[in-house]
Structure 1
Amino acid sequence: MGLDSMVEVTASEPSSIIETKGEHVNDGSPKDREPVYPKGFQLTIIAIALALALFLIALDMTIIATAIPKITDEFQGLDKVGWYSSAFFVTIGSFQSCWGKIYKHFPLKFSFLTAILIFEIGSAICGAAPNSNALIVGRAIAGLGAAGVSAGSYTIIAYSASPEKRPLLAGVLGISYGFANVLGPLIGGIFSDKVSWRWCFYINLPVGAVSIAIILFFFHDPPESKPEAVTLREKILQMDLLGVALLIAATVCFILATQYGQGQYSWGSAKVVGLIVGFVAILALWVANEWFMSERAMVVPRIFKRRTNMVMAGVATAIGGSFFPVVYYVPIYFQSIDGTTPIMSGVRNLPMVIAVTFGIFIAGGVISKTGRYQYVLLFSLGLATVGAGLLYTFDLHTSAGKWIGYQILSGVGWGLAYQIPLIVGQGSCAPTDMALITATLLFFQSYGAAILMSGVQAAFVNQMISKVMQLDPTISKNLLVLTGATDIYRVFHGDQLQVVLVGYMHGLRVVYATAIATIGVGFLIALGQPWKKLNQSAEVKAAIVA
């Protein structure tokens, strides 16, 4: 029986034993057969391919964190740093739901392989980029493909794993994802120091090819994923391309406003104010479009009638908006304030790598075993808030014991929380909404990262410049902005260098303060979650009835 004809799911096998409310008739057709899940070696090799693909996507999110100082040195300036990350996060966020619709209306395997190929093309452009603009374009293309890879990986695992194994395998994917997120700065540092920052992107090509080969030969589209029989016109309408365009336009307005406000124009200038007004106006149009498009919308309004989905979307936004700025700016702290090499800044980031990985593993195991996620979520968000608060206390002479301990504490918090929205969303939705819920939650996580990354970049530069000008007005503001994070030791000397370091520290604290506020809001949102055990059979029935 196909996913789109599922009506009731029994407790023993939520996705494989299907009953209609009337008399069950099995005529032997694909839609009337119980799902057959891959087992043994086939399931293992598919999981490895998906873990590899997600590893690359997550790696691409943070690998340039330690490479950015080298990139800014080569391309001469901090003014476009925000775009290096935001271009990726904007497209990965904006196209998540679009890819969710693609997986619903086109063959799953072909769509996933297409997504990896687009990601690989974007990575190749980034590696060969002759200037900042080319790098930004490559990042945007890579983000477009990454959106499909991330949504597709979790969708494939949902179809490939039986319901009782799904949280555990989602946890394995989450470990790969989280491990790459925080290992990225170390790998980026090694490439930047020993080879070239360009290999931060070239590395995706051979590893991605392995993932493509495995999926090509070992994964087969299950009957339950058979695309709905609708016209091509309807399939295109379902992707809500107008909604995607409006969201990208709104986000670009926001990023340009934050970029221009960093020094090129004042925050009160007509250009900056106009861009902010444009952002709000276009975002309002996007919301209206989503409401009008209904089931065709990139973010389907119907799913927010369930409180669980609304809360998890808010929590996912808070996690993405707080975690990624910290992952980017902790290595910048080590390289600028402590003067470490990219490799050593990555090594110093290892406590967070290990802590996040540990947290993801523990959360997946506990929820899979008990079905309880509420207390784990509140504890993790509270711990991450405290950890971010401790990171805020970093100064010019923070001891090793403190920067190790604080990273461990915050890393465990973010790690425990990282996968919970996806696990809960997939475990509490109707089978027909699996791809939709997955894409929607990933959208909110990515979009939260895109907006906050751009915002904290603007705040960092503004506060850094303001502090430096306050302490030493003779320092050139333009020179300060055009100097890369590690180049400050070459450009400035003596008292001026000390002033610049104080300015950098002042700007970094704003980043950590933003993380505190964002994850703290996530904690408050999580208080609104339903206090019921995550029982897949019961939740799925409720979702279908609703």
Structure 2
Amino acid sequence: MKSPAEDFPRTEGRIHQLDDFSFMEFHDLDLFPAVQREGRHPSASRTEELNAPPPIWLANTRAAKSLQNGYRSSQSLRPDAVMGYDFHATSDSEMPLREMNHESKETPEEEEYMSGFKLWLLMLSLIFSIFLIALDMTIVATSIPAITNEFRGLGDQAWYSAIYLMTSGGFQSTWGKMYQYFPLKISFLSAMAIFEIGSLICGVAPSSESFIIGRTIAGIGAAGVSSGAYTICAYISDPQKRAAHTGILGAVFGIGSILGPLLGGVFSEQSTWRWCFYINLPIGVLPIVSTVFFLSIPKAAKPREAPLKEKMLQLDPLGTGILMGAIITYLMAVHYGGQIDPWNSARVIGLLVASVVLFILFAFIERWQDERAMIIPRLFVKRDIGVSLFYTVFQGGALFAMVYYLPLYFQAIRGTDAVISAVHNLPFIIAAMASALGAGIFISNTGLATPVMVAGSAIATLGCGLCHLFDLNTGTGVWIGIQIVVGLGLGCAFQVPIMVGQVSVDVPDIPAVTAMILCFQTVGGAIWVSASQSIFINRMLIAVPHFVPGVDPTQVVSTGAGELREVFGADQIVGVLTAYLTGIRAAYMLSCAVVGMSLLIGVFLPWKRLDTDALKEAGGAAA
């Protein structure tokens, strides 16, 4: 019998048996397949992939028809077959293709995209939702002194920011799969509800512990809101406008992240820090109402068909749980170390060992999960993507750490209120925004990403190092100039790893690689913000007896950053502030070392031009 390979275009993909009918996942490569005939065996290298097939989807009608007709001509179809460079059959049973999903037999109808009032109302809603979750990443930076004043102590300060970054990053992939396998509208509304509940808990929190719980819940919801907003944007936007709409959301995310400290300072000083979270409730109503009444679910947004068990496995609950466990044990270790227990205590060592073991176990789990994993192995091993992932852990971590510790210098050491502190941070904010915009335009037109990443890290390393010059009476010109250098370096390279990742993969993989980079970026923020807090506290505890021998170091730690001048007398305050400054400088030096690591990693990125056309297309595909 004639092989279909002789008559039909080469189609790469998979056929999955699902209850009483089959689904195909494939790409038309316009080549000719070598069909695995009966009596031959799949190559050993494909066996593991066959046993754990990845997600499925239908696309490319011409390829579907050629595959369908080809197998009709051979009069056989083997369930759970995998087609790549060869077609491999893994089942001995035969099944006619007449039960193939009818979508592969017909030319799909042209999608209808939203326009006019409904489109812009939904886009405005998505802009508000993205702004809120970005704002929450950094809004506590200038509010922390007020929060520590109320909760009486600095001990939990790192958790306020790190736990939100941890959950918002760690659940990115989980929510991305939710939008693929469950109804789009229900999934997005669920994410918004979780975020709003977390914000409400933060706003009414009577204690530090309840505030941390609220931040944890809000972070989980934020992960779903961000990925959902980009997904909805892709479905409602005409392809010709999709990249522009996605770019708007990306710009809003960056603006929200950078403006967070400014707005946090205004709320803390003019009203109460609790309004940093209350504000999410009324603004969040618009995305919820607009989604309920105006979002028409397009046909393309239909959830993928799969058994409930397979849908749950696609969420990678095991990998997500292990990653959360690894980060939490690390956060607990740096929280206890040197503050509550000695670093060589059994509890601290045990937590650090547990964290390392869990991170290693996470890597093995992700390799085993393959296409179901939140960190997809075949993407991770690509040089461009692997380097970008490790780069953003350090570069993004340094950015978040500086966002939190620059305001602390002005409020604790210089004695400014939250609003003035935020104003003093404007050189950093403006420089970061300008350099991020300039870098994006430069790369989009030239394709030169690696030089931007390396130069950005080099400038940021210099800027963070210069922060060591901050003292009790640093001149205005000095702290403005240093902040500009830091902002230019950290801002210009912050979004570049995403741009590199998106043009390094095929279009269907863009959402996955974007989620991976965002996960590494925010988890890196959680890791290095908490490390900065630990080194800040530990160095301050050592410095207090040296500069003010009569003061109990734990009293300084238990005093809110904004209350130092009220608690300590005139004969003690200079020594206390000097000890405090010693800790802050140590945090700056850690950021200097961390961003310096990103410089060393960045040079391993291939020195080549990116496809500028692909960069423009990736804006829409990223959703």
Is the 8 Å Cα contact of residues 536 and 587 (structure 2) preserved in structure 1? Answer: yes
Is the 8 Å Cα contact of residues 186 and 346 (structure 1) preserved in structure 2? Answer: yes
1:338-382 CA-partner distances (Å, limit 9, x unpaired) = 000011101111222222222233233333444443333333333
Shift of 1:239: 1.0
1:145-177 CA-partner distances (Å, limit 9, x unpaired) = 011122223334445556775555444323322
Take 1:155 and 1:202, find their aligned partners in 2: how far apart are those partners? 27
Equivalent residues, number: 533
Take 1:226 and 1:479, find their aligned partners in 2: how far apart are those partners? 58
Partner in structure 2 of residue 108 of structure 1: 184
Give 1:344's match in structure 2, choosing from 409, 414, 420: 420
1:455-504 CA-partner distances (Å, limit 9, x unpaired) = 11010000011111222332112211111111111111223211111111
Q: Which SS does the other structure have where 2:469 is aligned?
A: coil
1:491-536 CA-partner distances (Å, limit 9, x unpaired) = 1122321111111111111211122222222222222223132255
Give 1:514's match in structure 2, choosing from 564, 569, 590: 590
Is the 8 Å Cα contact of residues 337 and 504 (structure 1) preserved in structure 2? Answer: yes
Take 1:379 and 1:94, find their aligned partners in 2: how far apart are those partners? 29
Shift of 1:318: 2.1
Partner in structure 2 of residue 398 of structure 1: 474
Moved more, 48-57 or 62-71: 48-57
Is the 8 Å Cα contact of residues 548 and 575 (structure 2) preserved in structure 1? Answer: yes
Take 1:183 and 1:401, find their aligned partners in 2: how far apart are those partners? 22
Partner in structure 2 of residue 182 of structure 1: 258
Take 1:50 and 1:375, find their aligned partners in 2: how far apart are those partners? 33
Flag the structure with larger Rg.
2
Partner in structure 2 of residue 373 of structure 1: 449
Structure 1 residues 369, 269: closer, same or farther in 2, change over 3 A?
same
Structure 2 matches for 1:247-262, cutoff 5 A? 247-262=323-338
Partner in structure 2 of residue 534 of structure 1: 611
Take 2:107 and 2:217, find their aligned partners in 1: how far apart are those partners? 37
Q: Runs of 4 or more off by more than 6 Å in structure 1?
A: 21-31, 538-541
1:368-406 CA-partner distances (Å, limit 9, x unpaired) = 444443333333333322222223322221111122222
Partner in structure 1 of residue 574 of structure 2: 498
Take 1:7 and 1:201, find their aligned partners in 2: how far apart are those partners? 49
Is the 8 Å Cα contact of residues 123 and 201 (structure 1) preserved in structure 2? Answer: yes
Moved more, 405-414 or 280-289: 405-414
Partner in structure 1 of residue 48 of structure 2: none
Instruction: Please list every run of 5 or more consecutive structure 2 residues that lacks an aligned counterpart in the other structure.
Output: 1-22, 31-58, 68-101, 619-623
Shift of 1:419: 2.0
Is the 8 Å Cα contact of residues 456 and 489 (structure 2) preserved in structure 1? Answer: yes
Take 1:177 and 1:281, find their aligned partners in 2: how far apart are those partners? 34
Structure 1 residues 116, 369: closer, same or farther in 2, change over 3 A?
farther
Give 1:290's match in structure 2, choosing from 366, 386, 389: 366
Structure 2 matches for 1:420-439, cutoff 5 A? 420-439=496-515
Structure 2 matches for 1:39-438, cutoff 5 A? 43-160=119-236, 168-438=244-514
- 1:487 maps onto 2:548 in alignment: no
Structure 1 residues 469, 163: closer, same or farther in 2, change over 3 A?
farther
Could you tell me which amino acid in structure 1 is paired with residue 596 of structure 2? G
Partner in structure 2 of residue 544 of structure 1: none
Take 1:42 and 1:523, find their aligned partners in 2: how far apart are those partners? 45
Shift of 1:20: 5.5
Take 1:378 and 1:40, find their aligned partners in 2: how far apart are those partners? 43
Moved more, 513-522 or 77-86: 513-522
Q: Which SS does the other structure have where 1:340 is aligned?
A: coil
Is the 8 Å Cα contact of residues 158 and 529 (structure 2) preserved in structure 1? Answer: yes
Shift of 1:281: 1.5
Take 1:60 and 1:538, find their aligned partners in 2: how far apart are those partners? 28
Structure 2 matches for 1:436-455, cutoff 5 A? 436-455=512-531
Is the 8 Å Cα contact of residues 101 and 436 (structure 1) preserved in structure 2? Answer: no
- 1:461 maps onto 2:556 in alignment: no
Report sequence identity in percent.
Answer: 42
- Comparing both chains, which one has the higher relative contact order based on Cα–Cα distances under 8 Å and sequence gaps of 6 or more? 1
Moved more, 230-239 or 346-355: 346-355
Could you tell me which amino acid in structure 2 is paired with residue 337 of structure 1? I
Structure 1 residues 494, 538: closer, same or farther in 2, change over 3 A?
closer
Structure 1 residues 144, 89: closer, same or farther in 2, change over 3 A?
same
Shift of 1:288: 1.5
Aligned-residue Cα RMSD (Å) equals 2.9
Take 2:270 and 2:453, find their aligned partners in 1: how far apart are those partners? 40
Structure 1 residues 521, 165: closer, same or farther in 2, change over 3 A?
farther
Q: Which SS does the other structure have where 2:140 is aligned?
A: helix
Shift of 1:432: 2.6
Is the 8 Å Cα contact of residues 444 and 616 (structure 2) preserved in structure 1? Answer: no
Take 1:121 and 1:175, find their aligned partners in 2: how far apart are those partners? 26
Is the 8 Å Cα contact of residues 427 and 534 (structure 1) preserved in structure 2? Answer: yes
Structure 1 residues 489, 451: closer, same or farther in 2, change over 3 A?
same
Is the 8 Å Cα contact of residues 3 and 432 (structure 1) preserved in structure 2? Answer: no
Structure 1 residues 63, 18: closer, same or farther in 2, change over 3 A?
same
Shift of 1:450: 0.7
Q: State the TM-score, normalizing by the size of structure 2.
A: 0.79
Take 2:111 and 2:504, find their aligned partners in 1: how far apart are those partners? 19
Structure 1 residues 101, 23: closer, same or farther in 2, change over 3 A?
closer
Is the 8 Å Cα contact of residues 142 and 408 (structure 2) preserved in structure 1? Answer: yes
1:85-104 CA-partner distances (Å, limit 9, x unpaired) = 12211211221111121122
Structure 1 residues 187, 297: closer, same or farther in 2, change over 3 A?
same
Is the 8 Å Cα contact of residues 427 and 536 (structure 1) preserved in structure 2? Answer: no
Instruction: Please list every run of 5 or more consecutive structure 1 residues that lacks an aligned counterpart in the other structure.
Output: 10-16, 542-546
Could you tell me which amino acid in structure 2 is paired with residue 258 of structure 1? V
More helix by share: 1
Take 1:76 and 1:254, find their aligned partners in 2: how far apart are those partners? 24
Q: State the TM-score, normalizing by the size of structure 1.
A: 0.90
Take 1:370 and 1:163, find their aligned partners in 2: how far apart are those partners? 24
Could you tell me which amino acid in structure 2 is paired with residue 533 of structure 1? L
Q: Which SS does the other structure have where 1:264 is aligned?
A: coil
Could you tell me which amino acid in structure 2 is paired with residue 329 of structure 1? Y
Q: Which SS does the other structure have where 2:611 is aligned?
A: coil
Take 2:234 and 2:138, find their aligned partners in 1: how far apart are those partners? 26
Take 1:223 and 1:72, find their aligned partners in 2: how far apart are those partners? 50
